[in-house]
């Protein structure tokens, strides 16, 4: 499951609306919406703030993407990508 869907999953699981999550994170609801749709990147500081508000770890919400980026970087450095 891609991280935008996991953000939505954890948000639904907690019973939070996008507006409520945005107020906890202190960003606009439109930013939360755009991140959930995959239209805006979720930078490290925002990622940590969202995870804290959702009561989830960064690994739970973003784990696969973090690993994928590490592997991509390793492949490029090895001349494989």
Q: Distance between alpha carbon 48 and the CA centroid of its chain, in Å?
A: 8
pLDDT at 67: 44
Q: What pLDDT does 69 receive? A: 47
User: 65-71 — which CB contacts under 8 Å span 24+ positions?
Assistant: 65/2, 65/3
Cα gap 68→28, rounded to integer Å: 28
Would you say 18 and 7 are in contact if contact means Cβ atoms under 8 Å apart? Answer: no
- Mean pLDDT within 10-25: 97
CATH class of residue range 3-77: mainly alpha
pLDDT of residue 5: 86
pLDDT tens profile 19-61: 999 999 999 999 999 999 999 988 899 999 999 999 999 988 8
- Residue predicted with more confidence, 32 or 75: 32
With left for phi above 0 and alpha for psi between -120 and 50, is residue 39 left, alpha or beta? alpha
């Amino acid at each position: 499951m891609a991280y935008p869907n996991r953000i939505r999953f954890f948000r639904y699981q907690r019973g939070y609306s996008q507006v409520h999550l945005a107020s906890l994170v202190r960003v606009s609801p439109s930013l939360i919406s755009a991140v959930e749709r995959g239209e805006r990147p979720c930078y490290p500081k925002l990622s940590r703030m969202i995870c804290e508000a959702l009561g989830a770890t960064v690994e739970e919400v973003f784990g696969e993407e973090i690993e994928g980026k590490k592997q991509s970087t390793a492949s490029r450095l090895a001349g494989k990508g």
